[in-house]
Amino acid sequence: MFRKAGMLFLYTETPLHAGSGASVAGVDLPIQRERHTQYPMIQASGLKGAFRDLTEQIRGITPEEIKRLSDLRKKETLNDKEQEEKQKLEEKIVPVEVVFGPETDRASVHGGALAFTDARILLFPVRSLVGVFAWVTCPTVIERFRRDLRHVGRELDVGDLSPPAKDEVFVPRDCIVQTPDGQVVLEDSAFQVNRAGEGQVTTLASWLAERALPPAYRPWRDRLRKALVVVGDDVFRDFVRFSTEILFRVRIGETGTVERGALWSEEHLPSDTLLYTLALATDPKDRDLAKPHGLENAEAILNFLKDVLGQASMVQLGGDETVGRGIVQVTYYP
């Protein structure tokens, strides 16, 4: 049973490809999506693996050290030198095992004390006729986010936001993506501004600007307060389905030309997309193992994660790491 929860906001610095495998559709390598809504998402297993890798990098843990500790654990007797080596390796590696779980060869010993939910979409950037681009969301996404926020003991008081009509949008005060005649043009679709939700969208935009983006993002915080647009649920679904980035990749052979059949397309979430995930902590499964490392309860597990993010808040998610894709800024809340 999970005892403590925190929320991580994930802001894409570069396009992100969290792949779902091959496809027979128009894109060879599509991104992961929820089955029932078709909203983009990132599976929890990928998140946990990425945060484990980040933690190991920060603690200076190498694959060779993990392998060496595994070998030492398998030996029935150790001499003094090996015993000392094993103790030093455990000081580095055991906290990671307590939080994220042991390596595969010891997976049956105990589970990890930290889990993540699938990352859900919150704000999606869409090209705008005025103001370059807007962040769009919809009432269903907002209500889902408010529900998830309650797991961390917080409330977002924006009232009940009724869905706008199909040809209408809600915008905040001092909106910078609105035309002089009271329209918002996103991609090739024009929407009329409905002032009924202005106060609620202004509150939502300010809340997210202060909490979902780090202090160093001040220009983007200021922009978010003026460039958030709430569209209808069906309109939002269409934007996240048809306004993602499609990139074409090739493989060059030894002759310097494209190899036969080595052309494929990949779908990416665009830069400036905002997602979120819940970090769920339990008390450690093996408290005797965890206690010497200060990880005696669920609160300590979350503090461990916060300490990691305090040292490095950038993480790489998804594929194409070698070409700079999937660089994500992580903000812990609360």
24 within domain boundaries: no
Q: What is the pTM of this model?
A: 0.93
17 within domain boundaries: no
202-223 residue pLDDT tens: 999 999 999 999 989 999 999 9
36 within domain boundaries: yes
The answer on 139 and 75 residing in a single domain is: no
The answer on 279 and 224 residing in a single domain is: no
258 has pLDDT over 70: no
pLDDT number for residue 110: 81
216-249 residue pLDDT tens: 999 999 999 999 999 999 999 999 999 999 988 7
Domain final residue pick, 226, 243, 260: 243
* 331 closest CA partner among 226, 247, 215: 215
263 within domain boundaries: no
For 150-173, give one letter per residue: b (16+ CB within 10 A) or e: eebeeebebeebebbeeebbbbbe
20 has pLDDT over 70: yes
The answer on 221 and 78 residing in a single domain is: no
The answer on 295 and 312 residing in a single domain is: yes
3-class SS of residue 110? coil
Per-residue confidence band for 285, with pLDDT thresholds at 50, 70 and 90: confident
The answer on 180 and 153 residing in a single domain is: yes
pLDDT, average across residues 72-77: 90
Biggest CA–CA distance in the chain, Å, is 81
Residue range of the domain that includes 280: 47-115+271-333
Range among 78-82, 137-141, 153-157, 259-263 with highest mean pLDDT value: 137-141
24 has pLDDT over 60: no
The answer on 174 and 77 residing in a single domain is: no
Cα separation of 128 and 229, whole Å?
Answer: 11
263 has pLDDT over 90: no
15 within domain boundaries: no
Q: Amino acid identity, residue 271? A: S
- In 10 A of CB 76, how many CB atoms? 4
pLDDT number for residue 1: 77
pLDDT number for residue 89: 94
Helix 298-311 to helix 80-100 angle, to the nearest 10 degrees? 100
The answer on 235 and 279 residing in a single domain is: no
The answer on 219 and 135 residing in a single domain is: yes
The answer on 303 and 236 residing in a single domain is: no
109-149 residue pLDDT tens: 788 999 999 999 999 999 999 999 999 999 999 999 999 99
The answer on 211 and 140 residing in a single domain is: yes
pLDDT number for residue 137: 98
The answer on 214 and 164 residing in a single domain is: yes
135 within domain boundaries: yes
253 within domain boundaries: no
Instruction: Give the mean pLDDT of the chain.
Output: 93
pLDDT number for residue 22: 65
74 has pLDDT over 70: yes
The residue behind tokens 């001092």 is 174
What is the sign, positive or negative, of the torsion defined by CA atoms of 129, 127, 201, 231? positive
10 within domain boundaries: no
3-class SS of residue 191? strand
6 Cβ contact partners less than 8 Å away, ≥ 6 residues apart: 152, 278, 279, 281, 302, 305, 306, 332, 333, 334
Total count of domains within the chain: 2
281 has pLDDT over 60: yes
pLDDT number for residue 170: 97
The answer on 106 and 123 residing in a single domain is: no
